[in-house]
Structure 1
Amino acid sequence: MRDDLAKNICRYRKEKGLTQEELAKKLGVTFQAVSKWETAQSLPDIALLPRLSQVFDISIDKLLGYASYDKPITIYEEEYKTPEYYWGVEPSKICLRILELLPPSSHLKLLDVGCGEGKDAVFFARNGYDVTAFDISDAGLEKTKRLAEQVGVQVKTFKADILDFRLDTHFDVIFSSGVFHYIKPQLRQDILSNYKQFTKPNGLHVFNVFVNKPFIAQAPEKEPTACNWTSGELFMYYHDWLIQECSEVIFDCNSSGIPHQHAMNKIIAQKYK
């Protein structure tokens, strides 16, 4: 618990845009105390936990590292409860490129970040990858399991929030499509650094992100927790990797029943050994 609490104090402080000094002032402690909490040298007094959770606007359970989902986090939870697959079952086109660049001729571990209903995760499993996938939606994970069972493959699934989850085991491929707009700007460096750290030599990161364009109207879903990226922002995190592909596209979408457009950046980056 000590390590989880230390990481969470640091993470949620940064998410709120607070310095150690500013957090210390709100709590009536020294900034040295906050520094020791964040490096797990000491723990905050138990009486400070309610105040910390209030400052960070999270539950004490979440502060201590226990998953707590007391309200819907994704607008798609209800959509995923229907028998039909909201996003269909055909894999994203970018999945084929991964097969070309890093075919599973040996045992390759792949992580699907924010797998939704599992169409991409199941595709990778069918093609021989050892697939792990996570999402925040219970209904989405159930559909992922069901789709995997229907085609006779195994996908290891678990529930997690992309903002809280950090890797502690290595993967050959980390993949995510249409999810990174849920990562708040102040957490992007931390999360992508963690993903890069736990990627094996020659491993791939394959991501796409929605980007803001002044000539494209806001999507009709108006997701309260979404925050689009700036054009080119994603690419800067991979200046020290081999960038196999990077592109920007504008495409039509009808996911909400209302025709609209999105602008998206895509990157395929390889960890050069």
Structure 2
Amino acid sequence: MKETLARNIAIYRKEKGLTQEELAQILGLSFQAVSKWENAQSMPDIALLPELSRTLEVSIDKLLGYTAQDKRITIYEEEYKTQDYYWGTEPNDACYQVLQLMPPTKRLRLLDIGCGEGKDAVFFARNGYEVSAFDVSDAGIEKTRSLAEKTGVHVHVFKADILDYRLDTHYDIIFSSGVLHYIKPEYRKEIFDNYKQFTNENGIHVFNVFVNKPFIAPPPEKEPNAYKWYSGELLTHYHDWLMKDSSEIVFDCNSSGIPHKHAMTNMIAQKITSFS
């Protein structure tokens, strides 16, 4: 918890445009105290948490790393509450690329970021990977568990917000489909640096992201927490990795019942640090 609180204080302080000195002055403390919090050398006194929460305009739960159960972050929370699977149960095409590039001939740990209702996470577990997955939607998490149980596999699934959650254990494969547009631009470098740090040598990241194109109309879904990406932007975070795929596609979509188009960057990058 100390590391989570330290990271979140730094994130939300910077988001408010405050220096450590300015935050300390508001709280009536020395800037060294705030510095120690953000370096996880100490924690704020419990009596300071309400004022810290008000100053940073974020709940105490979120500061401590807990995602509020009653806050609607994704527009799909209600969609996932039906018995039917909103996205179906067929895996994303990129799942088959993972099987080709890193078949589970040995123990391989895989993380599915923003797993939705679990179709991809369950596919990976069914094919022999050791799978962890997270999503911000309670209904999505429950459907992931249910699908895993019906399929007879285990997926370690938990609730987390992509903006707040950081890795502290290593994976061989990190996978994410249709989720990265929820990352605010100012968080992107830190988040991808964290993902890269906690990836094993020769491990891969398999990501896609919707990209903004002037000739494609905005999607009909009004997502309040979605942020624009541009062609090539995702790749800049992986200039030091081996690119296995860096394609861009335009495709038709009917997810909302209204026909529309998306442009998307697909990326597979491999971590290679040795010179052998």
**Where does the alignment leave 5 or more consecutive residues of structure 1 unmatched?**
none
What is the identity, as a one-letter code, of the residue corresponding to 1:232? Answer: G
For residues 108 and 237 of structure 2, what CA distance do their matches in structure 1 show? 24
Task: Tell me: CA distance 1:244–1:63, structure 2 relative to 1, closer, same or farther (3 Å).
Answer: same
What is the identity, as a one-letter code, of the residue corresponding to 2:157? Answer: T
For residues 93 and 149 of structure 2, what CA distance do their matches in structure 1 show? 23
Give the secondary structure class of the aligned counterpart of 2:100.
helix
Task: Tell me: CA distance 1:44–1:128, structure 2 relative to 1, closer, same or farther (3 Å).
Answer: closer
What TM-score do you get using the length of structure 2 for normalisation? Answer: 0.92
* Of 216-225 and 147-156, the range deviating more from structure 2: 147-156
1:8 paired with 2:8, answer yes
For residues 179 and 39 of structure 1, what CA distance do their matches in structure 2 show? 29
Give the secondary structure class of the aligned counterpart of 1:77.
coil
**Where does the alignment leave 5 or more consecutive residues of structure 2 unmatched?**
none
Aligned length: 273
Per-residue CA deviations over 1:13-50 (Å, capped at 9, x if unaligned) read: 23334433443455454544432321133444545422
Per-residue CA deviations over 1:169-225 (Å, capped at 9, x if unaligned) read: 111100000001111111111111111111111101000111111222211111001
Paired residues of 1:117 and 1:143 also in contact (CA < 8 A): yes
For residues 256 and 16 of structure 1, what CA distance do their matches in structure 2 show? 34
- Pairs within 5 Å for 1:79-118: 79-118=79-118
For residues 55 and 109 of structure 1, what CA distance do their matches in structure 2 show? 39
Per-residue CA deviations over 1:122-168 (Å, capped at 9, x if unaligned) read: 11111111111111111111211222222222211111111111111
1:191 paired with 2:191, answer yes
- Pairs within 5 Å for 1:228-267: 228-267=228-267
Q: Percent identity?
A: 70
For residues 246 and 19 of structure 2, what CA distance do their matches in structure 1 show? 34
In angstroms, what is the RMSD of aligned CA positions? 1.8
